[in-house]
């Protein structure tokens, strides 16, 4: 049992207690961040005269050697150590002797683990934003390619009005843009360094916390040492942001699943992102979309579990906080996997343009435009609404679209109708004359696409200027 404490105890920790208390099985994940933090701490100690330059160099060489050996597979992080901190310190002492025992001067595991988690989370946010960017790039490509791909828009899962696939995909672009901005906000808000907070009340050593923060790329040190070691708000914010990303992916998945049904046949999912049935040879199932939809609950669960853990914890650090890691690690892994898979599925998905346009036509999505035609010819809107309702009933009875109803039957219900009604209710006219951002549909989408292009071009390593 490699531990960083024990002098006050007279007998060994029970093995079950040790196993229950240990975190090495999961916190070994941020071994690189732990050593990065220790290197900055040691440089600061030497700058302040707390360590000699020789001791600093010995420790830094030792840490670099450990890091290289772990990364190249020559050194294994095993369960004989209580946590990643005791692993690094024990191996360092074993390799360089007494100088290694001085590395922990002026800090506690409380501020050390708070630092490690911040460094890890900051790195993961960059990766998450890279994946969000890839999703947005695919959506933008679809918007550019489908300006004239017509489909029904829905409310209440009922066909409502005609739109373009570009317009539909643009809605998801906006969702993921907000997700990107949320992650950026979290990264900015969490970017203060807790190292130097000690266990909770700071330290008597003359530390230069500003210098440590600068070495590690933080905006500055945390201002309150008690909050520094016990703050997990940024993880709750991250889990909330990941839950929102997963909610957006789940909504998107639900639509892909519906569009993939035999009843709709709007999309053809690539074989690489589909599975079959063990008994029904004709089946091609949208399992990736279904799994993404299902894994959303897993990320929600992490957020709810962590909120429940944190709600009853007094200041400052408590062992309960060890529970943050597995939930956060799992939620990050799940969201990253879902983003990557969904983006790949979306990139290879084929759209049945003719089927989508026919669905819009036969779903009476142009009924509002027929009513607007009457209003533009002097008929009060409420009367026009009723007239078009009667036309729809007639078309349902005849099993035809409004576009296919003869003019004499239009005029029988309302003599105001003329030959130009067919142009007024064509999908192209319905979509392109409707105002969205203050411009007609096609023009508006061109403006939106330019704005989206500009947004992505400002994106650099997960940070948008």
Q: pLDDT tens-digit profile of 194-244?
A: 999 999 999 999 999 999 999 999 999 999 999 999 999 999 999 999 999
Q: Is the pLDDT of residue 164 over 90?
A: yes
Confidence (pLDDT) at 105: 98
At 434, the pLDDT band (50, 70, 90 cuts) reads confident
Tell me the per-residue pLDDT of 123-138, one tens digit each, with 9 for 90 and over. Answer: 999 999 999 999 999 9
- Cβ contact 28:87 at 8 Å: yes
Q: Is the pLDDT of residue 46 over 70?
A: yes
Q: Is the pLDDT of residue 18 over 70?
A: no
Separation between Cα atoms, residue 449 and residue 183, nearest integer Å = 23
At 298, the pLDDT band (50, 70, 90 cuts) reads very high
Q: Is the pLDDT of residue 20 over 70?
A: no
Q: Is the pLDDT of residue 461 over 50?
A: no
From the list 234, 253, 235, the residue with the least C-alpha distance to 291 is 253
Q: Are strands 350-351 and 459-460 parallel, antiparallel or unpaired?
A: unpaired
Confidence (pLDDT) at 178: 98
**Active-site residues: which are they?**
156, 277
- Cβ contact 51:43 at 8 Å: no
Tell me the per-residue pLDDT of 335-389, one tens digit each, with 9 for 90 and over. Answer: 999 999 999 999 999 999 999 999 999 999 999 999 999 999 999 999 999 999 9
Give the 3-state secondary structure of residue 105. coil
H-helix or E-strand containing 306?
helix 287-310
Separation between Cα atoms, residue 149 and residue 310, nearest integer Å = 49
From the list 270, 436, 239, the residue with the least C-alpha distance to 342 is 270
What's the farthest any 2 CA atoms get from each other in the chain?
101
**Average pLDDT for residues 399-419, to the nearest whole number?**
96
Confidence (pLDDT) at 284: 86
Q: Is the pLDDT of residue 327 over 50?
A: yes
Confidence (pLDDT) at 148: 95
Tell me the per-residue pLDDT of 71-126, one tens digit each, with 9 for 90 and over. Answer: 999 999 998 999 999 999 999 999 999 999 999 999 999 999 999 999 999 999 99
Q: In the chain, pLDDT over 90 holds for what percent of residues?
A: 88
What's the gap between Cα 76 and its chain centre? Answer: 32
Which residue(s) pair with 162 in the sheet? 152
At 460, the pLDDT band (50, 70, 90 cuts) reads low
Confidence (pLDDT) at 440: 83
Confidence (pLDDT) at 464: 46
């Amino acid at each position: 049992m490699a531990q960083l404490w024990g002098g006050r105890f007279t007998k060994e920790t029970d093995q079950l207690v040790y196993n229950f208390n240990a975190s090495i099985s999961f916190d070994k994940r941020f071994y690189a961040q732990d050593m990065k933090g220790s290197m900055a701490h040691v440089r600061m100690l030497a700058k302040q005269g707390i360590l000699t330059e020789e001791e600093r160099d010995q420790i830094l060489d030792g840490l670099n050697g450990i890091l290289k050996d772990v990364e190249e597979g020559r050194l294994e992080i095993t369960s004989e150590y209580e946590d990643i901190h005791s692993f690094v310190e024990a191996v360092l002492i074993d390799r360089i002797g007494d100088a290694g025992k001085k590395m922990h001067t002026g800090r506690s595991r409380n501020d050390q683990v708070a630092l490690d988690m911040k460094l890890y989370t900051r790195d993961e946010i960059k990766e998450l934003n890279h994946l969000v960017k890839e999703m947005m790039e695919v959506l933008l490509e679809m918007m550019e390619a489908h300006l004239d791909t017509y489909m029904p828009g829905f409310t209440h899962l009922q066909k409502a009005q005609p739109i373009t696939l570009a317009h539909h995909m643009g809605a998801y672009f906006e969702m993921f843009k907000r997700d990107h901005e949320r992650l950026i906000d979290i990264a900015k808000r969490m970017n203060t360094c807790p190292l130097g907070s000690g266990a909770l009340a700071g330290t008597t050593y003359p530390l230069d916390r500003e210098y440590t923060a600068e070495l590690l790329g933080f905006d500055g040190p945390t201002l309150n040492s008690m909050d520094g070691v016990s703050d997990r708000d940024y993880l709750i914010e991250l889990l909330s942001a990941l839950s929102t990303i997963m909610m957006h992916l789940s909504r998107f998945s639900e639509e892909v699943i519906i569009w993939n049904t035999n009843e709709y046949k709007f999309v053809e999912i690539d074989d690489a992102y589909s599975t079959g049935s063990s008994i029904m040879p004709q089946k091609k199932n949208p399992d990736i979309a279904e799994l993404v939809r299902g894994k959303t609950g897993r990320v929600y669960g992490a957020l709810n579990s962590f909120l429940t853990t944190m709600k009853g914890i007094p200041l400052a650090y408590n062992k309960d906080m060890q529970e943050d890691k597995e939930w956060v690690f799992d939620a990050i892994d799940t969201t990253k996997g879902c983003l990557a898979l969904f983006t790949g599925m979306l990139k290879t998905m084929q759209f049945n343009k003719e089927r989508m346009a026919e669905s819009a036509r036969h779903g009476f999505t142009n009924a509002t435009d027929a009513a607007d035609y009457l209003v533009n010819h002097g008929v009060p809107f409420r009367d026009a609404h009723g007239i078009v309702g009667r036309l729809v009933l007639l078309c349902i009875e005849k099993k035809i679209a409004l576009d296919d109803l003869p003019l004499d039957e239009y005029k029988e219900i309302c003599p105001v109708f003329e030959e130009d009604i067919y142009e007024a209710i064509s999908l192209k006219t319905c979509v392109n004359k409707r105002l969205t951002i203050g411009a007609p549909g096609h023009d508006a989408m061109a403006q939106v696409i330019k704005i989206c292009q500009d947004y992505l071009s400002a994106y650099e390593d997960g940070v948008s200027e």
